[in-house]
Amino acid sequence: MASIKYGTPEYYKEQFMDFMADAQADKPEYGEAIIKGFLLALDDWAQYHTQQATHYGNLQERVRSALGVS
């Protein structure tokens, strides 16, 4: 089987299929954990990017101050 090109819908389909294989009718908590885990990942990434944006803003202000530009 040929490798699937990174970043394509087919690539992500394969990734999601790995997670979906864990969802089981006799263990509904696994499916719930998949959903909650996805939401936790989104929350973490959003927090990370918010912190990064704040950091970049602080750097920008320091550079503007050092250069005497507004």
Tens-digit pLDDT profile for residues 4-25 = 999 999 999 999 999 999 999 9
Specify the pLDDT at position 41.
Answer: 98
Quote the CA–CA distance of 15 and 41 in Å, as a whole number: 15
What are the extents of the domains in the chain?
27-70
Tens-digit pLDDT profile for residues 24-66 = 999 999 999 999 999 999 999 999 999 999 999 999 999 999 9
Q: What's the one-letter identity of residue 8?
A: T
Backbone angles phi, psi at 27, to 5 degrees: -135, 70
